[in-house]
Amino acid sequence: MVTVRALCVAAVLALFSGAVAAQTPSLEELKKPAPNPAWNKFGVRGYETVELAPGLYTFGNGGARNIFLVTSDGVIATDPVSPAFAKEMRAAIRKVTNQPVKYVVYSHQHWDHVLGGKIFKDEGAVFISHEKCVEHFKDLPNADLVMPDFTFSNNYRLTLGGRTLDMLYFGKNHGDCLVVMRPDPGRIFFMPDLVTAGGLVGGTMNDYSLHNMVRTLKELEAMDFDYLVGGHGVPLAHKSAVNERRRYLEALMAAVKEALDQGKSFDEIHKSVRLKEFDYMRNYKEFIERNVYRTRVYWEMGW
Amino acid sequence: MRNRVTTELAPGLYTFGSFGARSIFVVGDDAVIATDPVSPAFAQDMRAAIRTITDKPVKYVVYSHQHWDHVSGGKVFKDEGATFISHENCVAHFKADPNPDVVMPDRTVKGGETVKIKGKTLKLMYFGRNHGDCMLVMQLQGSDVLYVNDLVTPYSLGLGFMPDYNPKEWVRTLREIEARPDWQRMVGGHGIPFGARDAVTQRRKFLEQLMAAVRPEFDKGRSADDIAATIELPEFKDVRGYKEQIARAAERIYHYYEMGW
């Protein structure tokens, strides 16, 4: 009896893990251009480290994600996310290398990316952010935040152990201090929150400047690279996810503007403006009405 | 005039608008200080309304903040030679999000300055970040009326998702405004012509109670949608907009605690 029950449990576990494995796309699948069904099946999994290129890793749990670069002279880490996340991340880095973490680079100011740096500060890491983040950090203090030791005003290249990490600034888009990171040799970009591959923007488009987001994405599309890592979601995506996101935002802005110009009421706009050509994207059903609402307010306020 | 009406609040101080949008203007012996022109159509109506009171020119237009739904339409005043004034932080927004209907300011201020016409002085006050980062609160010197624009829509909850508001800085600003003893009435950028001091207090208490209600649920790890579906603030259930806006307001506060935004 005991044996049978144990077998049943084992069978269920096997089925379950089999189902999870089936939902976990391979890196090769993730590299395919948009629209890419592999991006849309993605669910939150446990913490995992994926080597994307020699020395370049992404670490995350689906809910949040970052990159780290291992060099012969230490590690360059990025967004520590939270104390719990940073602890897991520190352990994950140690599995790959004994090198100390020498730098932590913040992508932008939001707490869901930058908290938890203490564990790296304690080992002597230097913290870096765009200078405009500092004002936000001072404005809304958070005990779990390590303040940057070093800031820069436009673009910045960090060099360590013969490797480089470029921080590229595009002005206002998601907040006003976000940098896209370009580790050498420059084929994979880390662009937290500018693009989460395969999904809609979170409902109310938090801290988004729509017009500047489209401009930034266009500037990124014009640059030469192959793949991107987002701040949430899949470990890697084809560059075409930038184009997909940009086309989605442009279609959204145009559809809402057209409805406003037709004199439709706000309620009517919120309930009727839909983008059928993008309904394959993750979270479409959940977020489209709030995206429309947010965009209507953009056309009203310029915010 | 699409229900846009002029209401005199104090000698030489008027509010013009409808529930949809609202502005103030000050009439002196030699000139007029206008504020937010709102839109080309609104500005045209406001110009006509000012003319029914005085034939003096509009010498200044002062913007309350950068959002298009308040600052569009200034051309009618620019054409008669008005000088446009805004807080210095607004300029970067005007450049980052250009709009052909927005007249760029000719002069910028930091807060603490005054705009003077003969017999009337308009005080400009700056409270830092709250709704955007370039909001000017205005007061006609000697009057008991504050023009607070979008900081408070009297006795109404406004848009639940709180566009461009920083909840913490908003509460701080409202507290600072409440601490000033030199006013009794306020005019908002939307809504009824004016409210009393309790309109500011109501807005601040709503935010504080909302934040206090969301924080423990956020800490428990509940989702934004889940919290939004169950949030209740009984003290405010009869306030205009409560039913329509409370869920989105809770979602907005969730994101504040999540992101620091």
Give A177-198 pLDDT, tens digit per residue. 999 999 999 999 999 999 999 9
Peptide bond into A185 cis (omega under 30): yes
Give the mean pLDDT of A166-175.
97
* Residues facing residue B156 across a β-bridge: B240
Please determine, for residue A45, whether its predicted confidence score (pLDDT) is greater than 90: no
**pLDDT grade for A43, boundaries at 50, 70 and 90:** low
Give the pLDDT score at A242: 98
- Average pLDDT value over all residues in chain A: 91
- Residue appearing with tokens 């994926």: A50
Please determine, for residue A10, whether its predicted confidence score (pLDDT) is greater than 90: no
Please determine, for residue A17, whether its predicted confidence score (pLDDT) is greater than 50: no
Give the pLDDT score at A23: 60
B42, B70, B261: best mutation site toward chain A, by most A Cβ within 10 Å?
Answer: B261
Are residues B96 and A171, on separate chains, in Cβ contact within 8 Å?
yes
CA atoms within 13 A on the CB side of B261: 24
Q: What are the pLDDT digits (tens) for B61-115?
A: 999 999 999 999 999 999 999 999 999 999 999 999 999 999 999 999 999 999 9
> Given CB atoms, is B215 within the 8 Å cutoff of chain A?
no
B-chain residues within 8 Å CB-CB of A111?
Answer: 258-260
Neighbours of B139 (CB within 10 A): 22
Q: Compute, in degrees rounded to 10, the torsion defined by CA atoms A283, A287, A289, A295.
A: -120
Q: B243 CB contacts (<8 Å, ≥6 apart)?
A: B237
**pLDDT grade for B9, boundaries at 50, 70 and 90:** very high
Please determine, for residue A7, whether its predicted confidence score (pLDDT) is greater than 70: no
Handedness of CA B257, A246, A215, A64 (dihedral sign): positive
CA atoms within 13 A on the CB side of B120: 23
Do A236 and A228 meet the contact criterion of CB atoms below 8 Å apart? yes
Question: What is the Cα–Cα distance from B166 to B179, expressed in whole angstroms?
Answer: 20
Are residues B259 and A136, on separate chains, in Cβ contact within 8 Å?
no
State what percent of residues in chain B have pLDDT above 90: 97
Q: What are the pLDDT digits (tens) for A244-265?
A: 999 999 999 999 999 999 999 9
Q: Output the CA–CA distances (angstroms, integers) from residue B137 to A225, B27, B170, in the order listed.
A: 48, 18, 13
Q: What are the pLDDT digits (tens) for A63-104?
A: 899 999 999 999 999 999 999 999 999 999 999 999 999 999
Neighbours of A27 (CB within 10 A): 14
Q: Output the CA–CA distances (angstroms, integers) from residue B163 to A13, A44, A302, B17, B180, in the order listed.
A: 46, 29, 10, 21, 26
**pLDDT grade for B38, boundaries at 50, 70 and 90:** very high
Are residues A300 and B251, on separate chains, in Cβ contact within 8 Å?
no
A30-39, A44-53, A162-171: segment of lowest average pLDDT: A44-53
> Of A58, A63, A78, A55, whose CA–CA distance to A179 is shortest?
A78
Do B124 and B174 meet the contact criterion of CB atoms below 8 Å apart? no
**Residue B193 tokens, joined:** 């012509």
Are residues B69 and A301, on separate chains, in Cβ contact within 8 Å?
yes
> Of A262, A191, A187, A194, whose CA–CA distance to A226 is shortest?
A187
Question: What is the Cα–Cα distance from B192 to B18, expressed in whole angstroms?
Answer: 7
Question: Model pTM?
Answer: 0.92
> Given CB atoms, is A265 within the 8 Å cutoff of chain B?
no
Residue type, B72: S
Give the mean pLDDT of B167-188.
98
Question: What is the Cα–Cα distance from B234 to B238, expressed in whole angstroms?
Answer: 8
Question: What is the Cα–Cα distance from A35 to A37, expressed in whole angstroms?
Answer: 7
Where do runs of H (alpha helix) occur along chain A? 2-23, 27-30, 37-40, 83-96, 111-114, 118-121, 132-139, 210-221, 240-261, 266-272, 284-301
B-chain residues within 8 Å CB-CB of A212?
Answer: 96-97
Peptide bond into A35 cis (omega under 30): yes
> Given CB atoms, is A78 within the 8 Å cutoff of chain B?
no
> Given CB atoms, is B67 within the 8 Å cutoff of chain A?
yes
Q: Output the CA–CA distances (angstroms, integers) from residue B39 to A4, A288, B7, B56, in the order listed.
A: 75, 28, 19, 22
Q: A173 CB contacts (<8 Å, ≥6 apart)?
A: A194, A208, A209, A212, A213, A215, A216
Q: Output the CA–CA distances (angstroms, integers) from residue B154 to A186, B151, B234, B240, in the order listed.
A: 53, 9, 19, 9
Please determine, for residue A129, whether its predicted confidence score (pLDDT) is greater than 70: yes
State residue A226 phi and psi, 5-degree precision.
Answer: -110, -40
**pLDDT grade for A22, boundaries at 50, 70 and 90:** very low
**pLDDT grade for A18, boundaries at 50, 70 and 90:** very low
Handedness of CA B248, B253, B259, B261 (dihedral sign): positive
B-chain residues within 8 Å CB-CB of A293?
Answer: 161
Give the mean pLDDT of B161-188.
97
A140, A170, A287: best mutation site toward chain B, by most B Cβ within 10 Å?
Answer: A140
Are residues A139 and B166, on separate chains, in Cβ contact within 8 Å?
yes
Give the mean pLDDT of A11-33.
62
Residue among B68, B166, B169 minimizing CB distance to A300: B68
**pLDDT grade for B15, boundaries at 50, 70 and 90:** very high
**Residue B213 tokens, joined:** 């209600």
Question: What is the Cα–Cα distance from A160 to A163, expressed in whole angstroms?
Answer: 5
Please determine, for residue B144, whether its predicted confidence score (pLDDT) is greater than 70: yes
Please determine, for residue A15, whether its predicted confidence score (pLDDT) is greater than 70: no
- Residue appearing with tokens 């992508």: A107
State what percent of residues in chain A have pLDDT above 70: 91
**pLDDT grade for A40, boundaries at 50, 70 and 90:** confident
What is the ipTM, given to two decimal places?
0.92
Question: What is the Cα–Cα distance from B7 to A161, expressed in whole angstroms?
Answer: 70
Are residues A206 and B66, on separate chains, in Cβ contact within 8 Å?
no
Question: What is the Cα–Cα distance from B102 to B105, expressed in whole angstroms?
Answer: 9
Q: A91 CB contacts (<8 Å, ≥6 apart)?
A: none
Question: What is the Cα–Cα distance from A24 to A42, expressed in whole angstroms?
Answer: 7
